[in-house]
Every structure is written in structure tokens, then in C-alpha cells.
A and B are shown apart, each in its own frame.
Chain A
Amino acid sequence: MRNFASAVRTAVASATLFAGLPTIHAASDTDDITALREQLRLLDQKIKVLERKQEIAADDAATAAKSAPKITINDKGFTLASGDGANQLRLRSLIQADARVFTGQDPTITNNNAFLMRRARLIFEGTFAKNYSFLLVPDFALNSTTTLQLVDAWVNVAITPSLNLRLGRFREPVGLEQLQSDATAFFVERSLVSQLVPNRDIGAQLWGDVLGGTLSYAVGIFNGIADGANNNNNGENDQDKDVAARLFAQPWKNDGGSPLQGLGFGVGASFGRQKPVAANLTSGYRTDGQQTFFSYRTQSAAAASLTNFSTVADGPTWRVSPQAYYYNGPFGFLGEYALSTVNVRPNFPASLVGSPKVELKNRAWQLAASYVLTGEDAAYTGVVPATNFDWNGGTWGAFETVVRYDVLDLDDKAFTSPGGGYASLAAAAANPTKISTFGLGVNWYLSKAVRFSLDWFHTEFDNNVAVPTRALLKNDENAFITRLQIVF
């Protein structure tokens, strides 16, 4: 019995034990799963934390990069800029290497077929606190009078986007082509119209774009300079100042797709009152080939007489120049007219008493057109080639053809006696009354920064006499000019 009871107990205990085993196993599995789940959750959190930290670090790096100074080197120059772009310094350059060949000219001219450095400029420009900018442009290209010339030097304050104040040396706001960059004009040399409008002078100017950029204005006061001249030496000829102003409208500028989007037109003008000091405010004029074809009489005061004297400006000087351009796809057109009025008189005797004054009206106009053969857009600011010239890559850059006709008509009164027994203000035998030039050229844009140009200018002179004394005037001028230019 005992054995039986023992056996029963054992059997019950065993049954109980074996019956309980799955329960023990199940509890253990649940604990394991719970532990594993917790471990998984913790690992998941760790991964998420690491990912988030990386995300935050990337955001911080991106923010830091925005505020870090930037150095950029490209075809716009070398630029150092603050992270927010409000402050920057840029170094640029313009180098033009020319070759000029004149054919069929008078054999006494022996020194004009030449290579020359037309311009060799370093361009420093900068902006501070977004609204204050400057430009400083020295030119190292040698000429007959200077070895280093300060071309542009100005400080600009952007009071509002539509109101800027500029002080220093810069171009007077009159001529359309004169205001165009040296590097982007159709031809290597500007037209005869630019001979009658002022170039760079020293002064102060308010300017800006209004009406959504469709109307540009500029008005300034300057020391005053002669037609086509630069004020290179802080010169002030008299105490009077010239006022120059320009309005230029591009009414459809913001109408994308309009055929008139590239149309711009306006008028520039200047006014001054000159006093008779030497010959500083009377100009000579140059052909498109840059040879002087007109000049007033000059003579030293000591040797001056009724027939040989210096012609000086005395009285009001004013200019007006209506102007327009039109660009549409690869086609470009530019036209302008200039009327320059100057009051001049013989600088003899020194007191000028009895010296007759004459008002001369000189006129010039030009029509010029271009077509980009490779299809890029023509623009006042130049052509940007779709590809760069690359011999190995088989790309050729952009090609543009250009054509121009320009005329300069001098006032006939310059070549007749002003009265009182005086000789004419400009020697009739040494000057033409009118010149006309036909120009033809091709521009090859090897890249945005590099342009090669080949221009031909044919100039005809309407002379006062059958055999002029100035050698240049004895034959038509045929000038071939090539230029390799780098600008960035």
C-alpha cells in the first residue's frame, strides 16, 4: 500500500510536473520576448538618436556654410564674399591686344600699321554692407602721354534700389554706345557719334531704375569735358560745371515673350557754360580707325596772330543724343544721333576783346546691326556663347557678324572766317566738312571671357579743298583692325 501510495504520489507529482512544464516554458518565452522587445526598442532608439544627431550636425554644417566666407573663381573674376553676400571684393581684368593695318593711304604716313595694347586694365570692385560699392580701374596700356592711367574710380551708395548716388570718375550719362562696356560693343572701336558726347568725367550722379526696371534715369554734375574726351587728371578748366542727364526706357522689358521685350530708347543730354581757358574744351575728332581727322587751330599765346591762334570754348556748350537699341534673339540693332553745340572764339588777343564768337553745331549718327550666326542671343551686355571653343571637343564658341554706317558732319562755320579779319577756327585745308564710315566685322566668342574680332572700316572724307594738307585726308581710309580680348 505504501508502495502504491508512494507510486500514486509519484505519479501525481510526475503528472503535475509534466503538466506544468509547458507553462514554465511559456513563461520563459514571454520573458525572453519582452526582454528582446525592450532590447530592440533601446537599439531602435539608439539608432534614431544617432541618425538625429547626424541630421542636426548636417543642419549646423549647412548653416555654418551659409555664413562662411566664399571664394569664387570663374569667368566673372576672382571673388571673395561674406557668407550673406553683403560684402564682397572682386578682381577682374580687361586686356585687348590689337593689330591695325591701313591700306591705300598716303605714303607719307609711316607709323600707323602696328600692334598695340589698346587696353590693359585691372578692375577692382567691391561691395560693403550690400549698399556701398566701389570700382577702381587702372589701365596699364601705354599711350603717348601716360604710362598708367586711372580710368574709373567711383564710390556708389544705394540709398534705395531706385535711387543711387555715385561720386568719382565715370562716364557721363549721355551717349548710348559710349555707356556700353568697352568689351561688349559691336565693333572694336566705337562710332563717330561717341566723338561728340563726353566720356569719363569727375562728378556726382544720382541714378537708378524705376517702374520695375523699365525706366532708367541718371542726372549728374561734372567738372566738364570736351566731346569724346576723358578727364584723366582731376582737371577743372573753369569754375563752372556741366550737368548731364539721361532717360532710357525699356517698356516691354518684363513682358516675357513679347517681340518688343528687347526694345530700348531714350535721350541723353548735357549742358555747360565754358570760359575761355586755353584749348582744353575744344576737341579733335578721330576716325573709326582712331586717326585724328579734325582739330581746331592751336598756337602758343606768344606766337598767336589773327591768322594763327588757338580756338577756345567760350559760352554755352550743350549736347543732345536720342538713342535706341533693339535685341531679339540673335539679332541686334543700335542707332543713335548726337548734336554737339559749342561756342568758340579765337584766343587772340589775350584779352579776347574784339575776338568774334561763333556757335558751331556738329552732328553725328550711326546705325549698327549684328547677327549671331550660331544662334545665341544678342544683347547690349554682349554675347554669351553656348559652348566654348574646344578643338578636341569639336565645339567652336559663337560667331557674330556686325555692320555699321556712321557719319559725322562738322559745322561749315568752323571753316570760314568768324569776321574781324580772323582766319577760320579750324584750318579748312587740314579738315574735312564731313566723314562717312562703313564698317563690317566678325566677332568670334571663344568663351564668355575671350573674343577675337576682325573689323574693316572704310571712311570717306568730304574735304574743303581738292588737296588737303592733312595726309590722312588725301585718300579714303581703309582700316583693318583685329583684336584678341580677354575680359572677366
Chain B
Amino acid sequence: MKIKTFLLLGLAAALSGAAFAKDIQLLNVSYDPTRELYVDYNAAFAKYWQGKTGDKVTVKQSHGGSGKQARAVIDGLAADVVTLALAADVDALYDVGKLIPQDWQKRLASNSAPYTSTIVFLVRKGNPAKIKDWDDLVRPGVSVITPNPKTSGGARWNYLAAWGFALKKYGSDAKAQEFVGKLFKNVPVLDSGARGATTTFVQREIGDVAISWENEAYLAVKEFGADKLEIVVPSLSILAEPTVSVVDKVVKKKGTEAAAKAYLDYLYSDEGQEIAARNFYRPRNEAIAAKHAANFAKVELITIDAVFGGWTKAQKTHFADGGIFDQITTK
């Protein structure tokens, strides 16, 4: 009996030791242009979390087109958290994978969108194609770079911003569809993600204008130089709200729930918001937004809810198989 008792105690000790492991690994599955943001943020969070709990947390990053990334998580990529370009891609984690609860968006402030962005134009120095507003993108002969809305969250924002402009200016969905159709006829290459589209425009020197996330455009100018690129702010754009969520099924299985939740909560902290602003994302925190106001152009912003009736409807109408985007591109 004594030997068996000792063995049981030994096993219990081994199991409890495993349960209180101090090294935590998180995987953040994100969309294309957030690489730099989360490199900065992960370091700050690791420091914060170690100070708070003593645990050492390492966050791995995965980036790609937002739609593709959501698909990868549904197919088994063990993401502790997702930080995707739009709510529709996070919705898919519930709709298709049942990996998160249906009301995931209510779990964090601002509909689980800790920072926002918008859509601007990136043009070559001197703006040789004279791009000033959305109308210029449908001119014959103008070459426009935007990624594929089927795989890229940013591309869906681009598409909807163009649609919103045309709807406001020309007054009907039919005219808006015609406008967006003309715009996509001017797109020579459809990359799968926003970073790929930036590569196409900046490094491969294709196109006269790239429709881009605001932060991605600023980053491109910063990296490649103001002597090569310029940003043009259109008369109207869209409020882009990248959303974040813990992947419940994964964190429960891995035992990383507390760290994963804290990871997302910390995005709303002063330090998290400051890091977002430094990486050209518009912070939710008003004081920090005011501090960085000079970095963000004032532009009229439409919202997905007001113009398109929310992401679920927009997704179904425009981007689902057989939707308007498919109709436009198969013409």
C-alpha cells in the first residue's frame, strides 16, 4: 500500500506541476498589415503580464488575408486569439466553426474593435495620374491596386468605401454597382491580402494608385520614403473596425484562457492604445487620439451599419458566392 500511495502522490505532483507551468505561449492569428503593430504590442504585453503574474508569455504571430486567416483557424490552426480585419471574418468562427460564442462582439468595449482605421489612396510621388477622389479610379487607363475581397478584409473595406461614395454621389445601388464594376475593371492584379497589394504597388511598381488601409499607407511612406509615395485622402471613406476575440475552444483546451483574455483587454489600456496610434491605427481612447490627431486626416466616414445594414448583410449581399462582387468580376 505504501508504495502505491507514494506513486499516486508522485503522479499528482507531476500533474499539478504541469498545470502550473510558467511558460505560456499564445498564437495571435491576425490579418496582413498588423505585423508591426503586434511586434510592438506583444513585447509590451509580455512585460506587463510577467510583472503582474510572474508568468513568461510568448506570443507568436500569424498574418495573411483576413478571410484566409479565419478559414485557417476554422480548419484547425490553434489560435488563442484572432485580431482580424473585420467582424464578418470573426463571425465565421462562430458560424462555421462554433469556436466562439455568437455574442462574441459584446465581450469587449467598442464592439470588440479596440482601434479603427480607414481607407485612403497611395499614389506615386507627384501623383502623376492626378488621383484626387474615387471618381479618378474609374477613369479609363488608370491602373488601380486593391486585393481580392474574397480573401482580404482590407479589400472588402476598399470595395464598400467605393460603393458608399458612388451611392452617395450617384444615388442608387445600380449606379454604385456600375461604378464599382468599372473600378475593378481597372485592377490588373488581385492579391490575396493587403500586404501583398502593397508589395505589388510599391515594390513591383504596378499601378497608378493603391487603395489601402490608412495605417498601411503611412507605413509604406515611412518605409519607402516620402520621395517616392504620397497619400491622397478621398472626400469620403469608411470607418474600418478591425475586431478581436479570444478563441474559446482553443484557450480552454490549452489552458491559456486568462492570458489570452488579458492580451486583448490590454489593447484598451493606455499603453495598448498608444502603441496602436504609433502604428497609425486610430485609437479609441479620446485623449490618446487627440494626442496623435495630426497623424490622421479628417475625412467624412460612413459606417458599415448605416450604409450596408451591418456586416452580416454586407457579407451576404456583396461577398458571398454568387454575390455582387462575383457578378461584377465574372462580367
Mark A residues whose CB is within 8 Å of B: 45, 48-49, 51-53, 55-56, 59-60, 84, 86, 129, 159-160, 162-163, 206, 217, 219, 243, 245, 271
Contact = CB atoms under 8 A, between A and B. Distances in A.
B206 A52 contact: yes
Interface string B194-209: 0010001000111100
14 contacts: A45-B188, A45-B207, A49-B189, A52-B189, A52-B200, A55-B204, A163-B14, A163-B15, A163-B18, A206-B11, A219-B11, A243-B4, A243-B7, A271-B3
Contacts of A45: 143, 188, 206-207
A271 B3 CA distance: 9
Contact of B204 (A48, A129, A219, A243): A48
B236 to A, nearest CB: 28
B188 A56 contact: no
A219 B15 CA distance: 13
Contact of A48 (B14, B76, B192, B206): B206
Contacts of B200: 52
Contacts of A159: 18
B205 A48 contact: yes
Nearest to B207: A45
A123 to B, nearest CB: 27
Given A45-B143, A51-B204, A52-B206, A219 B7 contact: yes
Contacts of A243: 3-4, 7
A45 B191 CA distance: 16
The residue among A52, A56, A163, A245 with the most chain B CB atoms within 10 A of its own CB is A52
Contact of B76 (A86, A217, A271): A86
B18 A56 contact: no
Contact of B188 (A49, A59, A160, A219): A49
B204 A56 contact: no
Interface string B150-178: 00000000000000000000000000000
Given A219-B7, A243-B7, A53 B189 contact: yes
Interface of B: 3-4, 7, 10-11, 14-15, 18, 21, 76, 143, 188-189, 191-192, 196, 200, 204-207
Nearest to A42: B141
Nearest to B3: A271
A49 B206 CA distance: 7
B18 A162 contact: yes
A3 B246 CA distance: 101
A84 B75 CA distance: 11
A414 B205 CA distance: 91
Contacts of B206: 45, 48-49, 52
A162 B4 CA distance: 22
B7 A245 contact: yes
A219 B191 CA distance: 54
Across the A-B interface, give the 10 residue pairs with the lowest CB-CB distance, nearest first: A49-B188, A48-B206, A52-B204, A52-B189, A163-B18, A160-B18, A52-B200, A271-B3, A48-B204, A49-B189
A64 to B, nearest CB: 12
A94 B163 CA distance: 66
A147 to B, nearest CB: 38
A84 to B, nearest CB: 8
B10 A219 contact: yes
A73 to B, nearest CB: 26
A50 to B, nearest CB: 9
Given A52-B189, A84-B76, A162-B18, 10 more contacts: A45-B206, A45-B207, A48-B205, A52-B200, A52-B204, A129-B76, A163-B18, A219-B10, A219-B11, A245-B7
Contacts of B205: 48
Contacts of A56: 189, 191-192, 196
Contacts of B3: 243, 271
A79 B247 CA distance: 32
A162 B18 CA distance: 8
A179 B267 CA distance: 52
A239 to B, nearest CB: 14
A45 B3 CA distance: 79
B148 to A, nearest CB: 10
Nearest to B19: A160
Contacts of B196: 56, 59
Nearest to A51: B204
The residue among B7, B143, B192 with the most chain A CB atoms within 10 A of its own CB is B7
A228 B196 CA distance: 63
A56 B11 CA distance: 52
B120 to A, nearest CB: 22
Contacts of A129: 76
Nearest to A160: B18
Contacts of B11: 206, 219
Contacts of B143: 45
A220 B238 CA distance: 62
Nearest to A219: B7
Nearest to A67: B75
Contacts of A206: 11, 14
Contacts of A49: 188-189, 206
B192 A60 contact: yes
A48 B199 CA distance: 12
A55 B199 CA distance: 11
B65 to A, nearest CB: 11
Contacts of B4: 243
B16 to A, nearest CB: 11
Contacts of B14: 163, 206, 217
Contacts of A245: 7
A379 B313 CA distance: 63
The residue among B18, B21, B196, B205 with the most chain A CB atoms within 10 A of its own CB is B18
Contacts of B207: 45
A84 B72 CA distance: 11
B183 to A, nearest CB: 17
B249 to A, nearest CB: 13
Contacts of B189: 49, 52-53, 56
Nearest to A84: B76
Contacts of A162: 18
B7 to A, nearest CB: 6
B217 to A, nearest CB: 19
A245 B7 CA distance: 9
Contacts of B10: 219
